[in-house]
Amino acid sequence: MSTHRVHPGLLARLRTLRSDQPVRVIVEYEPTAVAPHVAARRWRPLRVARVLPFMTLELPAAQVEELAQEPYVKRVWEDLPVYPLLDVSVPKIGAPRVWELGWTGEGIRVAVVDTGVDLHHPDLEDRIVATADFSGSGSVQDRDGHGTHVASIIAGSGAASGGTYRGVAPEAELYIAKALDDRGRGYMSDVIAGLDWALAQQVHVVNVSLGAEVACDGTDALSTACDALVKEGIVVCVAAGNSGPGRGTIGSPGCAREVITVGATTDNDQVALFSSRGPTADGRVKPDICFPGEGIVAARAQGTDMGTPVNTYYTAASGTSMATPHCTGAVALLLEAEPHLTPSDIKKRLMDTAVDLGLDANLQGAGRGDVYAAVAQAPVTKAPETDISTPEPPSPPTPEPTPPPPPEPTPPGPPSRQPAGCLLGLLLGLFGR
């Protein structure tokens, strides 16, 4: 077998399977438009990404060797399951002080790859620009609750709470990719499809509050895809995982090299017990930084019971999933203030200005993020142009069947700091789900 092309985790898995037992795999192929069509002559692709050079196949275990020997194949991984990684936090990181400087995330496009979103939540309905479903659910409506909670930590208006539970970047634009189904389940390939869509939408930041909680070295398929987006100029913030307090518990894509991997802290600036610790399987320090992630109150999707419901509109939840959108919102504020910054610039700025908690780097990374300290280094401020004063809370909703999501709007024109372009501009016309 061309073992150098097959990930060690898949090799180990194949040894446990019968030769005729089906296995889902993710294939990274050489940059040629014909590769998926060649593969389709022998195997049926489940999905082909439209921009990233990845496709997903299901084939008998015995045929993985044949696949790996194809000249267009670069790497093959098992398509692993992924899951979600589950008031005072926004002020704690200095976001309101940044708003006073005039920065609210306006004009920054943020993709949330998760369980969808409550399209009609008062805190989010005016922030959603585009949506896409890769979960097979047929709708981006969030029936799990995780994605809605995450999205509102980033850019919720706080309309249903009179402004109490406003997100970190309340005027950022949300692009919603539903990669996990209504039970919060999905595969790495579903997440990669969401990342691929986000790249095509020319977003500035991507939030990935999910993952496979397995030890990894950054060479798995999902980590590779996340790093590919960073190389295209997109900041990617990912959850470290909830497998703490043991060492070496960072999961995928938290082990990716180029992303910002986020651990969780408590209200009193201690690293949360559940927050995954480094090092990665290849010995690198992770997480990169921590943000608040315990008992976070944010939007509750209608009809869901994730976390501990506070009222009709809000629920409290804990996890590195909740810490990560604090980081994503911080990135949106920083990018609005300094749009010329590269992903590596932003990562360094956040880490350099973090509050050192005096703990081992494999627990805290650089420390707890402080977005005000990061943005305060910007050369200019601006007078607030929009009113983010306390909104009036809405009336309680009348239960009704959830309507289908609106048609996906056409994304706006290229940003001032857009990605360097499609990784594979010649993939036009390829099929995908």
Specify which residues 238 forms β-bridges with.
208, 261
User: What is the largest distance, in Å, between two alpha-carbon atoms of the chain?
Assistant: 66
Whether 277 and 249 have beta carbons less than 8 Å apart is answered as yes
| Measured CA angle at 113 (ends 110, 118), to 5 deg | 85
Q: Phi first, then psi: give them for residue 114, nearest 5 degrees.
A: -165, -140
Helix (H) or strand (E) holding 231: helix 221-231
Beta strands in 190-293 (DSSP E): 205-208, 210-211, 235-239, 260-265, 289-292
- Residue 354 gets which letter from DSSP? S
H or E segment and range at residue 391: none
Strand partners, 205: 110, 235
CA angle 356, 359, 360 (to 5 degrees): 120
DSSP 61: G
| Contact call for residues 123 and 157 (beta carbons, < 8 A) | yes
SS3 letters across 394-419? CCCCCCCCCCCCCCCCCCCCCCCCCC
What are phi and psi for residue 65, nearest 5 degrees? -60, -45
Map residue 60 onto helix, strand or coil. strand
Neighbouring residues of 425: CB distance < 8 A, sequence distance ≥ 6: none
Tell me what percent of the chain is helix, strand and coil, each rounded to the nearest 5. Answer: 25, 20, 55
52 near 199, Cβ under 8 Å? yes
Instruction: Kindly calculate the radius of gyration of the chain based on its CA atoms and give it in whole angstroms.
Output: 21
Rounded-to-integer distance, Cα 331 and Cα 105, Å: 9
Task: Phi first, then psi: give them for residue 205, nearest 5 degrees.
Answer: -140, 145
Give the bridge partners for 289, in sequence order: 262
What whole-number distance in Å separates Cα of residue 254 and Cα of residue 276?
9
How far is the CA of 252 from the CAs of 12, 51, 82, 219, in angstroms?
18, 21, 9, 9
Q: Which residues are catalytic?
A: 114, 146, 321
